[in-house]
Amino acid sequence: MTCPECDARNKTSIVYLRNTKRTDLGFSASKPGTGGPHLHDPNMLTEQYECTNGHRFKKDMRTACPKCTYGHEEPVVTILTPRHKYKPGMVE
Ligand SMILES: [Zn+2]
Ligand SMILES: [Zn+2]
């Protein structure tokens, strides 16, 4: 795991996982068919990271279905406000 902002600036840093969140939408697996049920979980898992240079970013991803391509997309990376500009109580 590397920091996308440090990558862009050719810096090195260590990235820490700060937080994980998951939406809470109910879902159920489809009826078992040939080879078992599909798992099309609509919930998004968000992992929030911070690097040792104070950059903050998050990744949004889904749980991958073992039976088809659902949820196999690359995680979406979003750059967040860096630590030195972050104010307590800011909503992200
Ligand atoms: Zn960084
Ligand atoms: Zn599927």
Residues 3-31 have a mean pLDDT of 92
Angle among Cα 60, 64, 66 to the nearest 5 degrees reads: 175
> What are residue 21's phi and psi, to 5 degrees?
-135, 155
> What is the structure's pLDDT at 92?
58
Tokens matching residue 78: 């979003």
Please say if the pLDDT value at position 81 is more than 80: yes
Q: How far apart are CA 73 and CA 76, in angstroms?
A: 8
Q: How far is the CA of 5 from the centre of ligand 1 (A)?
A: 5
Residue 12 has pLDDT above 80, yes or no: yes
* Cα 54 to averaged position of ligand 2 atoms, centre (Å): 38
Closest ligand to C-alpha of residue 36 is 2
The ligand minimizing its distance to the Cα of 41 is 2
Q: What is the pLDDT of residues 27-70, one digit of tens each?
A: 887 777 777 888 899 999 999 999 999 999 999 999 999 889 99
Q: What's the chain's average pLDDT?
A: 90
More confident residue, 86 or 77: 77
Q: pTM here?
A: 0.77
